[in-house]
């Protein structure tokens, strides 16, 4: 089977002439179904740009991008919108939820653009997605009534509700404290190992990258290292250890 993602000599530039920024310089890589990949590097190295290109939120300036073996650089706007909505889920550092809108309504949103579904079915699927991220008791809460970690879990439920094959996350723990970050990574690890979801996650925190199974490092728009993580950290295990450490500190 073709890899889920294959990019060849991918180039992305912003602007023109002397102001031109080379965000990606001939990036070539493949990602198989079921992988959990962390993209790391100093800020400005191009990881977010790559994630946006992979998520079809940005168009590459040059190079090829095959998604599941299909060359998406030839896709029409409609085909790209369909791919974005059905095959790809996106999670951002800043959550990007609609304010004054309940968790349920936020998660129902992506289903409004898909095939026609009854209101009852949308509600059932949104509820199921929120329960799966541990928010069964927060269905009608609005973002300003929830913690950062809870808001990010709503965003994950929204990203997954159309059952994509790929989850893209841009610094999903960047705004969260250590414990809450681990809770988010635990959900992402469970989705990867349990449900086989392919995950590509950008992080500038070396500790967070150790939960992935492969780390690709960037500098100045280029891949400078690409290595497997032989023994990824388990967020579930590390979470269970946290209360003991808290006790030791207070003793
Ligand atoms: P990272 O995620 O590693 O911080 P980015 O992909 O956001 O890196 O940015 C890579 C480079 O491209 C940086 O130099 C950044 O300033 C530039 N860049 C990113 N987005 C834009 C944009 N919309 N317009 C102009 N330059 C941009
Ligand atoms: Mg970034």
- Cβ–ligand 1 contact at 131 (below 6 Å): no
Q: Report the separation in Å between the CA atom of 26 and the middle of ligand 2, taken as the mean of its atom positions.
A: 18
- Residue 173 pLDDT > 60: yes
* Residue with CA at minimum distance from ligand 1 atom 25: 14
Give per-residue pLDDT as tens, 233-247.
Answer: 999 999 999 876 555
Confidence of residue 1 (pLDDT cuts 50, 70, 90): confident
* Residue with CA at minimum distance from ligand 1 atom 26: 14
- The full DSSP string for the chain is ---SEEEEEEEEEES-GGG-EEEEEEEEEEE-TT-EEEEEESTTSSHHHHHHHHTTSS--SEEEEEETTEEGGG--HHHHHHHHHHTEEEEETT--PPTTS-HHHHHHHHHHSSS---HHHHHHHHHHHHHHTT-TT-TT--GGGS-HHHHHHHHHHHHHTT--SEEEEESTTTTS-HHHHHHHHHHHHHHHHHH--EEEEE-S-HHHHTTSSEEEEEETTEEEEEEE-SSPPPHHHHHHHHHHHHHHHH-
Give per-residue pLDDT as tens, 81-139.
Answer: 999 999 999 999 999 999 999 999 999 999 987 778 899 999 999 999 999 999 999 99
Identify the pLDDT of residue 104.
98
Nearest ligand to residue 93 Cα: 2
* Residue with CA at minimum distance from ligand 1 atom 16: 44
- Residue 249 pLDDT > 80: no
- Residue 250 pLDDT > 70: no
- Cβ–ligand 1 contact at 216 (below 6 Å): no
* Residue with CA at minimum distance from ligand 1 atom 7: 48
- Cβ–ligand 1 contact at 48 (below 6 Å): yes
- Cβ–ligand 1 contact at 45 (below 6 Å): yes
Q: Which fold has domain 5-249?
A: Rossmann fold (3.40.50)
Identify the pLDDT of residue 251.
43
- Residue 140 pLDDT > 60: yes
Identify the pLDDT of residue 244.
61
- Residue 248 pLDDT > 80: no
Give per-residue pLDDT as tens, 198-227.
Answer: 999 999 999 999 999 999 999 999 999 999
* Residue with CA at minimum distance from ligand 1 atom 5: 46
């Amino acid at each position: 089977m073709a890899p889920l993602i294959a990019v060849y000599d991918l180039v992305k530039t912003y602007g023109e002439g002397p102001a031109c920024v080379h965000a990606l310089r001939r990036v070539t890589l493949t990602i198989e179904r079921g992988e959990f990949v962390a993209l790391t590097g100093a800020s400005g190295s191009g990881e977010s740009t790559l994630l946006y290109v992979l998520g079809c939120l940005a168009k590459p300036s040059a190079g090829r991008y095959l998604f599941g073996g299909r060359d998406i650089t030839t896709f029409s706007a409609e085909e790209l919108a369909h791919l974005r909505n059905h095959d790809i889920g996106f999670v951002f550092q800043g959550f990007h939820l609609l304010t004054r809108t309940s968790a349920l309504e936020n998660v129902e949103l992506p289903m409004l653009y898909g095939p026609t579904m009854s209101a009852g079915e949308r509600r059932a699927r949104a509820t199921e997605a929120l329960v799966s991220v541990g928010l069964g008791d927060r269905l009608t809460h609005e973002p300003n009534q929830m913690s950062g970690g809870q808001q990010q879990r709503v965003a994950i439920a929204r990203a997954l509700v159309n059952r994509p094959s790929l989850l893209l996350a841009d610094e999903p723990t960047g705004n969260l404290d250590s414990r809450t970050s681990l809770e988010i990574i635990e959900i992402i690890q469970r989705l990867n190992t349990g449900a086989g979801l392919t995950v590509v996650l950008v992080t500038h925190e070396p500790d967070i990258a150790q939960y992935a199974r492969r780390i690709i490092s960037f500098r100045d728009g280029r891949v400078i290292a690409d290595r497997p993580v032989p023994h990824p950290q388990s967020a579930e295990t590390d979470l269970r250890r946290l209360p003991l450490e808290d006790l030791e500190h207070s003793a």
